[in-house]
Chains A and B, each alone.
Chain A
Amino acid sequence: MAFPDVQLSKRPLHFIYLCDCSGSMQANGKMQALNQAIRQSLPGMAEVARQNPEAKVLVRAVSFAHQARWHVAEPTPVDQLQSSWVDLQAEGLTAMGEALRLVAGVLRTPPMEQRALPPVLVLISDGAPTDDFEDGLRTLMREPWAQKAVRLAIAVGHDADLDTLQQFIGAEPSSAAVPPVAMPPVAGLAAGGDRLPGEPVPRSGRRPLQASNATSLAQYIQWASTAVVGAASMPVSQVGIPSTAESNVPLPDLPPTVIGQVVW
């Protein structure tokens, strides 16, 4: 009996940008910086995809202003996107809730594949939603694939509504999530390492990333498109821990903070 005619497939990894294209993004070159950052990140993402051939990295993008619409509607292999990326244009309001509902529609199975890797959703915004964000988030989070997704948020400038972005990401674990293992670790060596009293809480992908200039925006987008895609491409099993908000895919370390001029 010959090997059966079955469809073995690389596991698709859906990467979706949700880009704020409201009028405020025109200020101080934010829109231009975002387009530039996305363009610059695509070769790195393509390289990560080549290094992880078992994952099929497919990119889409949603823009939201007066209304949300697909900027890249078809799941597009990242290497094809490099030559076909069309710059986003800023105008109007911030229909973030509608954008979430739009994404919810494609995270259903079907069209989502049963065996897909956890999708990566990157929300980029410089302000606050002007529509019913709560409803959009509820709609999104009803989809199992949205619950499994790696959800990241990048705040462009200091006017971004961090609470909203944090809601999108989900509650940050109060401490490093330690599953209730059968034997507690030795005291003083908690998972995730110790932090001295007064030491600032380290930056985490489980919080909105604040980009205050074009360089840091590019850096964060690069991180999301390469390091996170790499981690999501070859996920390791995680111990199932009910009632913790740990990311479905262990997030890689963030890039070092760029000390630069605060422009936004």
Chain B
Amino acid sequence: MSHWLPPLCCTRPGASHRRKGVVCQDASGWHCFQDRQGELVQVMAVADGHGGARYGRSDVGSWLACRTALNTARQLFQSQAIGAATPLSSRPTDAGPALSEPSPQQLLELQQDQGQQEQLQQDQWQQDQWQQWLGQELPQVIQRRWLRAVRRHWRVQPPADGREAFSPLLYGTTLGLVVMTPRWWGHTGLGDWDLLQLQASGSRLLSQENDPAAAGEATFSLCLNDAAAHCAPRTAIQRLDLETPAFALLLSTDGIRKSCSTDDDFFALGRYLSQAPLPQAVEPPVDLAASLDRISSQGSGDDVTVAIAHWRPEEAWHDLALVPSEQGPGGPRLQPRRPRSLDPKGQIQVAAPDHAVQGLPDEAAAASIAPSRPAPRSKPGPGPGRRPPRAIQVLIVAVLMGCLGVAALALFRLGPLGLAVSPQSPADQIPAEKVPAEQAPMSALRLERVRQQVRELCAGDGAIRSLLVQRRRSFTDLRWGWRQRQQLLDRLDLEPLEALIALSYDPASGALSDAPEFVGLQACPQLQLALARMWLESQGSAASAGLR
């Protein structure tokens, strides 16, 4: 169970970037999944590519940083129950002082004291474990995978002149990450992002870059070889229970804070941007895209990104539960949360739960979020044996249903991760690894990427056949269902030819597609013929013999 609302992310290109035609270098996203024990976990990330000629691919770097961080967090959470599954044998014990012949009353008190003390020590020990995982292990894996991802991108999209050597510096980016579980939340990352905690009692700046080495416009970056080490100082864990009052978290790239004259202004903006939505609300309470555009145009001109999360414990949900329902005389009732990604411009993006990690078998995304088994409450609530009030139970179901609804919408529109990148960013052309929705339509930008591949193939027509033959496996895999169409489409940026193969396939006929998406690519006759031949061949060698 979780009392976290699904996060909101929004990334907007900066005013000065728009004016000068500079690509947006910010990226953001969030992820919702269950850990190994079935606990609902949410993760949100922001990244800010450094920009400038020296960091010429930092827009891709920031996008990959978010995607890698979100997928890595999910994968690690699902391979180990962080904290909750701490083996008893390894927990510290405290025998306590030896007392001789205590009275029954003393014995009882002693046992209670020892129990509390052990619980405290155990909690502290677990917190230390989480902190170490969040501040060291997770960043190391993220950086390692990010380096692999940027190197792969470089291989697939080498520089036009071929003279420049690969360096991760080209992809340099910051990364801020917030992990939210039912019993704790924490943050990690490096670079000049800011994290605000906003609650009724006041606002706090929880994390900012203040290392002297990162003075001025300097910042730590994922491309540094000791990047993971710079994450530890930006890492902290906060415990949660139902007594924890409601609060919001606002994770932002530096464009927001640098637009404000003072920190008080920054706090005020944070409070405004992070207003909690009502359960019935279809639209978010704040038009984040418009607000961020305003902040950038009146302020720093830099790219601007926020990722916002809300912790809503019992009291808050109870209050929200009293909001009159549209369902009539049944009394106060919570509505299932509706997806918030309804901005017609597609700027506010909320993603679905996802199993999209490279190399992993495709899984049913929706199944991961559904409460397939009761989430264990390893930390008691307000009191022993106390069950959460019905309003909360209903709300949890509502949140889960909201996640499922969001999943459906996001799979339709966004891909498996809630990665929010500027529509102007070329990173938009880089898909997530997998999208479970089989027939998700492609954006115009991505289609254009495939069109470009078609043009290249048709221009060098002699190579069409040999290039397709090299991808024979993709044809076979698609035909026999070993790979899904969307898996290939998701690799568009890395393998545009495979995306073209996917679009060219009509599963109903097992032959060349005549769907508008493929027809619109305007493939030349030679390419169409070669593709048709490959589909025919994919049925088996006997069937293809006639074409040889």
Looking at chain A's contact residues, is the secondary structure mostly helix, strand, loop, or mixed? loop
A182 and B217 contacting across the interface, CB-CB below 8 Å: no
A179 and B272 contacting across the interface, CB-CB below 8 Å: no
Contact segment of A27-35, A84-92, A242-250: A242-250
Chain A positions within 8 Å of B302 at CB level: 54
A52 and B261 contacting across the interface, CB-CB below 8 Å: no
B219 and A237 contacting across the interface, CB-CB below 8 Å: yes
Chain A positions within 8 Å of B260 at CB level: 6-9, 115
Q: Nearest-CB distance from B301 to chain A (Å)? A: 3
Among B174, B223, B286, the residue within 8 A (CB) of A181 is B223
Among A1, A4, A52, A239, the residue within 8 A (CB) of B219 is A239
B272 and A1 contacting across the interface, CB-CB below 8 Å: yes
Cα(A240)–Cα(B215), bound, Å? 8
Q: 8 Å CB contacts to B: which residues of A1-19?
A: 1, 3-11
Is B203 in contact with chain A by the CB < 8 A criterion?
no
Chain B positions within 8 Å of A9 at CB level: 259-261, 298-299
Cα(A11)–Cα(B257), bound, Å? 11
Chain B positions within 8 Å of A26 at CB level: none
Chain A positions within 8 Å of B211 at CB level: 240
- Fill in one digit per residue for B294-320: 1 if any A CB lies within 8 Å of its CB, else 0: 110011111000000000000000000
Known: A7-B261, A239-B223. A54 touches B165 (CB 8 A): no
Known: A6-B268, A54-B299, A250-B52. A182 touches B219 (CB 8 A): no
Cα(A214)–Cα(B300), bound, Å? 37
Known: A11-B300, A237-B192. A183 touches B167 (CB 8 A): yes
23 contacts between A and B (CB under 8 A): A7-B260, A7-B261, A7-B265, A8-B261, A9-B260, A10-B300, A54-B301, A54-B302, A147-B215, A148-B217, A181-B223, A183-B166, A183-B167, A183-B225, A189-B163, A236-B54, A237-B48, A237-B50, A238-B216, A240-B211, A240-B219, A248-B215, A248-B217
Chain B positions within 8 Å of A10 at CB level: 299-301
Cα(A248)–Cα(B51), bound, Å? 14
Chain A interface (Cβ < 8 Å from any Cβ of B): 1, 3-11, 52-55, 113-115, 118, 144, 147-148, 179-183, 185-186, 189, 191, 234-242, 248-250
Q: A5-B268, A237-B219, A240-B213 are in contact. List 8 more A-B contacts (CB 8 A).
A: A1-B286, A3-B272, A8-B298, A52-B16, A54-B302, A115-B259, A185-B165, A237-B217
Query: Which 9 residue pairs across A and B have the least CB separation, nearest first?
Result: A54-B301, A236-B52, A148-B216, A186-B165, A240-B214, A242-B213, A6-B265, A8-B298, A7-B261
Among A5, A52, A182, A191, the one with the most B-chain Cβ atoms within 10 Å of its Cβ is A182
Is B15 in contact with chain A by the CB < 8 A criterion?
yes
Known: A1-B285, A8-B261. A238 touches B218 (CB 8 A): yes
Cα(A55)–Cα(B20), bound, Å? 14
Cα(A182)–Cα(B148), bound, Å? 11
B54 and A250 contacting across the interface, CB-CB below 8 Å: yes
A234 and B301 contacting across the interface, CB-CB below 8 Å: yes
A189 and B164 contacting across the interface, CB-CB below 8 Å: yes
Cα(A118)–Cα(B227), bound, Å? 25
Quick one: closest B residue to A231, CB to CB? B52
- Fill in one digit per residue for B244-265: 1 if any A CB lies within 8 Å of its CB, else 0: 0000000000100111111101
Chain B positions within 8 Å of A5 at CB level: 268
Known: A4-B272, A7-B260, A11-B258. A240 touches B220 (CB 8 A): yes
Chain B positions within 8 Å of A234 at CB level: 16, 20, 301
B272 and A235 contacting across the interface, CB-CB below 8 Å: no
Among A4, A148, A235, the residue within 8 A (CB) of B271 is A4
Chain B positions within 8 Å of A236 at CB level: 50-52, 54-55, 217
Quick one: closest A residue to B174, CB to CB? A237
Cα(A115)–Cα(B165), bound, Å? 36
Cα(A113)–Cα(B51), bound, Å? 24
Among A113, A118, A186, A241, the residue within 8 A (CB) of B217 is A118
A179 and B164 contacting across the interface, CB-CB below 8 Å: no
A54 and B15 contacting across the interface, CB-CB below 8 Å: yes
Cα(A257)–Cα(B294), bound, Å? 43
A181 and B217 contacting across the interface, CB-CB below 8 Å: no
A179 and B298 contacting across the interface, CB-CB below 8 Å: no
Chain B positions within 8 Å of A186 at CB level: 165-166
B50 and A239 contacting across the interface, CB-CB below 8 Å: yes
Q: Nearest-CB distance from A169 to chain B (Å)? A: 16
- Fill in one digit per residue for B329-348: 1 if any A CB lies within 8 Å of its CB, else 0: 00000000000000000000
Is B226 in contact with chain A by the CB < 8 A criterion?
yes
Q: Nearest-CB distance from A248 to chain B (Å)? A: 4
A183 and B16 contacting across the interface, CB-CB below 8 Å: no
Known: A54-B300, A180-B226. A8 touches B295 (CB 8 A): yes
Quick one: closest A residue to B301, CB to CB? A54
Known: A4-B272, A8-B295, A52-B16. A185 touches B167 (CB 8 A): yes
Chain A positions within 8 Å of B261 at CB level: 6-9, 113-115
Known: A7-B261, A147-B215, A239-B224. A181 touches B169 (CB 8 A): yes
Known: A53-B301, A115-B260. A4 touches B285 (CB 8 A): no
Known: A9-B259, A115-B258. A239 touches B165 (CB 8 A): no
Cα(A153)–Cα(B58), bound, Å? 32
Q: Nearest-CB distance from A185 to chain B (Å)? A: 5
Q: 8 Å CB contacts to A: which residues of B265-289?
A: 265, 268-269, 271-272, 275, 285-286
Is B168 in contact with chain A by the CB < 8 A criterion?
yes
Q: 8 Å CB contacts to A: which residues of B190-231?
A: 191-192, 211-221, 223-227
Quick one: closest A residue to B287, CB to CB? A3
Among B226, B258, B269, the one with the most A-chain Cβ atoms within 10 Å of its Cβ is B258
Is B172 in contact with chain A by the CB < 8 A criterion?
yes
Is B403 in contact with chain A by the CB < 8 A criterion?
no
Quick one: closest A residue to B164, CB to CB? A189
